Structure 1
Amino acid sequence: MPFHDRGFTIFSRLLLGTLLLTCATGLQWLEEDYLVSSFEKIALRSEYRPGEAKPLRKWLKPVRIYIDSRLGSEHIQSQLVDEHLATLRLLIAHPVERVPLRELANMVILFERSDRLRQAMGDYYTEAPFSGELLEKSICVAQINVKASGEIVQAFIAIPPDKARARGKLPACVVEEITQGLGLPNDSDEVYPSVFNDRSVDERLSPLDKLLLQALYDPRLKPGMSAGQVLPIVRRIVRERLPEMREKYKVLLERDERYWLE
């Protein structure tokens, strides 16, 4: 659930488990209106103020990720991050890479035990950005720092490996939080199939998620654009990409295959 404070956006993967959805089935996600609506819900909306559209948020500078591993296998955590970065490189031209030093980073991923997580954040903040209540009910959390212009300049992700692994959500946390940190910060039960749906069982980006990310980093979309400016452009992007998506996925869907997990 997102929270907002002093120019920051905070979002999290809530403890909703693996409930199955009934609201969006079949080929609905391959329809133009559904894809445009999904972009609005994930990129321009907020659970904290559901009736208010937010300006578009995205990075302009390269994203440099530092992994601060204090619990669990750093090798596995690095592998999960690297696998997702490899996916991102296939989807968007915007540079997203790992760096070896915290001082070089503008996105930090902290892996720490759940009962030490808030204390560990003291190494990054004078005041912890996440309440104890939010950390208790969330599996993983993240925050983005956004300029008034809509440009994202920093992101911080906190993942407790003990809680995430117990819930079977460690890979999903890495994928969702990094992607949300790129400018798709909202969760919605109305968007499916998607890692941005807290009731989803997906651990990787679905084709719908990939389209949202590609649209966000299309050069026609600029930070700070209003919903009225953004959505007509998103509709054009969807129309350009939809024929290829339908051709690629329709046959597989008819065979009821979980193609996006392959």
Structure 2
Amino acid sequence: MIKKTAAVILTFTLCVLIAGCAVRHQLPENASTRTQTITETVTVPSTITTAAVSQTQTETFSETQTALPTEAVTEAASEPVSEEPTGLVERITEIISAIIPTTAAPETTVPVTKSVSVNGYSKKQVINYFVETAMNSERGVNLGRVLKWTKPVRVYTGGNSNDRDEELIRSLCATLNTIDGFPGISVTGNSSNADIIILFAGRLQLASLISDFGLFDDGYCGLVWNPSYSLSKAVIGINSSIVSRSKRDSVICEEFLQAMGIPNDSDWYKNSVFYQTSDSVTWPSKLDWGVVSVLYNPGIKPGMTKSQAREVAETFVK
């Protein structure tokens, strides 16, 4: 689950400097699932830009979001890791070794430019879920600080991904680019300039490559941030042996959003991609997108404490 990521050698002896979170999906493959129906079409911008802001705008999330095909994945559960581009191992090692002590004090005086509301949820519910998921971590690294991207993000996908995986990742990027205050995200075919690397490999291979990846895990994410608590790099690992399409989508969505700076699982809302044991939420809920919108509101700054972030959120969440 949050803050995550074939043939690579990773050493995640990162102590409190990586908010690592594994997805522990142990439900049987034939367990009943609940598929979310989505009707709205999201258009991918031709260029990545931060949306213009006005004092009177209100960001409102409804239940309708982009739907993607739900065909079952047909590849074998045990699949070989495809050959990775030269330098990918070195690139991932560089990301993990680029950890810098987090010592800078956060900036707390920031203009708030856009309000956020989520249909069907109260102001209190939205703020509390933001604090629950973005200000805590499932792996015990409880910084209690805001982590977020403050620069345009480039995403590279390697390993045993398929066309549906790639389509889902592009759709997630497209929706993120509609969030006010988000710095922009795009897919790159070059691992050397990627900020986020997503690796698809079998569970046993991931467990042998990533020390924190358990034998019952399906996803993993490791984050790196700079002294101002701005995210600088992330590595995501996805178990490519997952055959269930809904489960595979669920893992991808959770790990991807957690790499945006939302590292914690929760047992509060079953329709959320952050729900502790969910295998059937195939697209982020309106509340999940609301949390992302709160995090990337210009009023929420990297490094803010829980109390500081909550106080600012009170001024723009409606």
Aligned to 1:5: 15
Does 1:148 pair with 2:227?
yes
2:158 aligns with one of 64, 68, 87: 68
3-state SS of paired residue (1:14)? coil
1:34 aligns with one of 101, 125, 147: 125
Normalized per residue, the structure richer in strand is: 1
1:43 aligns with one of 114, 134, 141: 134
Identify if the C-alpha distance between structure 1 residues 19 and 40 changes in structure 2 by more than 3 Å, giving closer, same or farther: farther
Shift of 1:198: 2.3
Aligned to 1:85: 173
Runs of 4+ in 1 over 4 A off after TM superposition: 1-4
The question of whether the paired residues in 2 share the 8 Å contact of 1:19 and 1:199 is answered with no
Distance in 1 separating the partners of 2:156 and 2:2 = 23
Question: Where in structure 2 are the equivalents of 1:226-237 lying within 5 Å?
Answer: 226-237=305-316
Distance in 2 separating the partners of 1:5 and 1:172 = 27
3-state SS of paired residue (1:36)? helix
Distance in 1 separating the partners of 2:310 and 2:189 = 38
Distance in 1 separating the partners of 2:265 and 2:246 = 19
Aligned to 2:284: 205
Distance in 2 separating the partners of 1:191 and 1:45 = 16
1:184 aligns with one of 257, 262, 266: 262
3-state SS of paired residue (2:186)? strand
Deviation sequence 1:88-116 (CA, Å, 0-9, x none) = 12234421111111101010000112222
Shift of 1:216: 0.6
Aligned to 1:106: 195
Question: Where in structure 2 are the equivalents of 1:118-157 lying within 5 Å?
Answer: 118-119=207-208, 121=209, 128=210, 130-131=211-212, 134-157=213-236
Shift of 1:191: 3.8
TM-score, scaled to structure 2 = 0.63
2:186 aligns with one of 97, 122, 125: 97
Normalized per residue, the structure richer in helix is: 1
Distance in 1 separating the partners of 2:178 and 2:124 = 25
Structure 1 gap segments, 5+ residues each: 21-26, 122-127, 240-262
Shift of 1:192: 4.5
Shift of 1:236: 2.4
The one of the two structures with greater contact order (alpha-carbon pairs below 8 A, sep at least 6) is 2
Percent identity for Structure 1 against Structure 2: 24
How many residue pairs get aligned? The number is: 220
The question of whether the paired residues in 1 share the 8 Å contact of 2:246 and 2:281 is answered with no
3-state SS of paired residue (1:145)? strand
Identify if the C-alpha distance between structure 1 residues 14 and 29 changes in structure 2 by more than 3 Å, giving closer, same or farther: farther
3-state SS of paired residue (1:194)? coil
The question of whether the paired residues in 2 share the 8 Å contact of 1:53 and 1:227 is answered with no
Structure 2 gap segments, 5+ residues each: 4-13, 34-117
Distance in 1 separating the partners of 2:276 and 2:188 = 30
TM-score, scaled to structure 1 = 0.75
The question of whether the paired residues in 2 share the 8 Å contact of 1:28 and 1:34 is answered with no
